[in-house]
Structure 1
């Protein structure tokens, strides 16, 4: 029996769910060239504007001159170089934890952590709106897998009552498609009451959240006892690439021994670690980036509410505009692009059916004038659409 791929692809097109890769022909930033068209972008996760920062570029170049280009082998063979080790120590100090461990990307960090900690006879409980990498990790772990209602500590408590073996509660810190924050204090209380561990993927929290950019843990003032397993990615506010897990000495040693995505993967380029060390320094010292970003978020939310757009409960750089219908979301995204603005339409299965949206993301590299251009274009497009929508 042959695979009927053409039928599957045609169905996806008919449902307005077909995905296409835009071709970026410039460095990341607010002003980009995509598919040959100059555009003002509001769709990347470069929240602090560090992806094309001159000092980060210089650090990468210097690192390549000193350490070469490739990692050469896995960390456990001969791929763990000086810059990797220095970055792990810096990330441990940054997060206030004994140790940190580098991974090549966030998907691998989540997969490695979950599958190393639980297996058959254990339990994984996850938020329904967790990132795909967290959900996949739970399913692939072999543990009993269940999802609790979004950000609902009461729902989690009911599932904890039925948990068996070692229990791992897993949540995003900032939910990537909604922009809201996990209620970590409540989740941590429920987990600790039942002897479960809480794992948080704070991919979108590091940088924008916390007085010093320490993410959701700093925002809520929580400790390593509250959240034993903390995951962060480096391709968003850090502006580079990769990921890390931070926690106790025993946790990190366990991941080194048992996390297959870590053990069996070539290390990231040492020069990349050099670049991330510089971006971490900028993240920690240039507080104006967070302050400016927060002003832009307030400006956007106020302007969007004046227009009558349906926003979600988010004070993060992720500002989704709810549309509902996938075809409408694609149409609005297209109309914005015709006006020189790039805003991505997010559709199922990335988000639940009937909740398609425009996902606006803001960066410290944006100006207030650029945000106003976006608001003006959104108002025009929304007014054009309203008669049909009504």
Structure 2
């Protein structure tokens, strides 16, 4: 079979299985649909304060950072953002990347290199890819299983080890057992790497994240990664950790060394978002409250949904075709939702992912309720 014939055959097989992905360009108003698919948990991406900060940064610094962070891509704006992120999250230091994905690649692939990496089965794809790049022995433990993590650490032969987990998991929306994982890591001389992408801005006091909420912020044996593109309404990522960790990433982190620095507009917008969170303690709780209301709506209609730890609300439907049909039905009723299928979720767990926003109102919830009622009423099946 010719190479392109094989690609076409593979695409046709994904189509039959309900696993085709399609790009669907939207207009600035989300095509008139109520947005429950984005990660804009606090509704800040269109906030005038962030827009103006991005414009100011662009006027002062230009449209791009012009180079890698170690050449010309580190501006005074980047340094200010790192200082503010570290202070806000009570971390010793911060290192900004052009995406959260690259921050995860750097943290896990660099700190885990040549040792043991213990990774939760529910971790985000960026963490999975980072494990593969670490050239380490990787043990994937059952979701949230502290005993399995402890066993993997205890039985290892490698000198170095790291434990890797999301804090809030990106599809199920549940919270990792951070105190137990940290205690296990400390007992066995390992670092704990926590991806706070879905917790920053939503969980804890002022949205400082799940690690802070667990009383572990600033601990030298914990490394956090964050994204600036979700609750902060901008783009980019960062690693939060002690001086030894940050120095190591600057010296040897390939996705830091060889990538162009974060665009000034994004750095400016992220700085404005951090300032908003410092001043407004209510925003994170508003997002969490809307998430609880969405989950309650789904359960009242007989749909499967768990109590959310942050802003992510899954509605499990089973087969990929069922999730696709339900997402289309929601759009017909005026609501854009996420549609997650394998490999993003395990087989049999395809779902709608609803993402709550702090600025959802009563009228919005009524529209969402009607859309979910339509999904429940049709009993969508494969």
Work out whether the TM-score is over 0.5.
yes
Q: Distance in 2 between matches of 1:166 and 1:365?
A: 45
**Cα offset, 1:105, TM superposition:** 0.5
SS of match in other structure, 2:360? coil
2:348 is the alignment partner of 1:354: yes
Q: Is the 8 A contact 1:59 1:278 kept in 2?
A: yes
> Whole-Å Cα distance in 1 between the matches of residues 340 and 120 of structure 2?
20
Distance 1:351 1:196 in 2: 28
Deviation at 1:275, TM superposition (A): 1.5
Contact (CA 8 Å) 1:192, 1:226: kept in 2 or not?
no
Residue 87 (structure 2) aligns with? 93
Match of 1:218 among 212, 216, 224: 212
Cα deviation, 1:41-91, whole Å, max 9, x if unaligned, reads 211100011101101110111111111111111111122101000000111
Match of 1:299 in 2: 293
Q: TM-score, length-normalised on structure 2?
A: 0.96
Superposition deviation, residue 226 in structure 1: 6.8
The corresponding residue for 1:140 is 133
The whole-number CA distance in structure 2 between the counterparts of 1:188 and 1:171 is 11
With over 3 angstroms needed to count, the CA separation of the structure-2 counterparts of 1:299 and 1:313, relative to structure 1, is: closer
Unaligned segments of structure 2, at least 5 residues: none
The answer to whether the 8 A contact 1:43-1:360 is kept is: yes
* DSSP-derived class of the 1:102 partner: strand
| Partner of residue 18, structure 2 | 16
Tell me what 1:125 maps to: 118
Aligned match of 1:268 in 243, 250, 262? Answer: 262
Q: Give the distance between the partners of 1:270 and 1:17, measured in 2 at CA.
A: 37
CA distances 1:119-153 after superposition (whole Å, capped 9, x unpaired): 23x11010001001101111111011111110010
Q: In the TM superposition, what are the counterparts of 1:26-175 in structure 2 within 5 Å? A: 26=28, 32-33=30-31, 38-120=32-114, 122-163=115-156, 164-175=158-169
Counterpart contact for 2:167–2:196, Cα < 8 Å: yes
Q: Pick from 228, 231, 245 the counterpart of residue 225 of structure 2.
A: 231
Secondary structure of the 2:96 match is strand
Instruction: Please give the secondary structure, in 2, of the residue aligned with 1:246.
Output: strand
**Contact 1:303/1:375 (<8 A) preserved:** yes
**Matched residues in 1 for 2:96 and 2:27: separation?**
29
Tell me, yes or no, if the aligned pair for 1:50 and 1:237 is still in contact at 8 Å.
yes
* Secondary structure class of the residue paired with 1:69: coil
Moved more, 264-273 or 104-113: 264-273
How many pairs were matched up?
Answer: 379
Structure 1 residues 325-369: Cα deviation after superposition (integer angstroms, max 9, x where no partner): 111111111111112211122100100001101111111122122
For residues 37 and 162 of structure 2, what CA distance do their matches in structure 1 show? 32
User: Could you tell me which residue of structure 2 aligns to residue 2 of structure 1?
Assistant: 2
Instruction: Provide the rounded CA distance (Å) in 2 between the counterparts of 1:224 and 1:150.
Output: 25
2:378 is the counterpart of 1:376: no
The root-mean-square deviation of aligned C-alpha atoms, in Å, is: 1.5
- Superposed displacement of residue 288, structure 1: 2.9
Q: Normalization by structure 1: what TM-score?
A: 0.94
176, 180, 187: which one pairs with 2:181? 187
- Determine the C-alpha separation between the residues in 1 that align with 2:334 and 2:265: 35
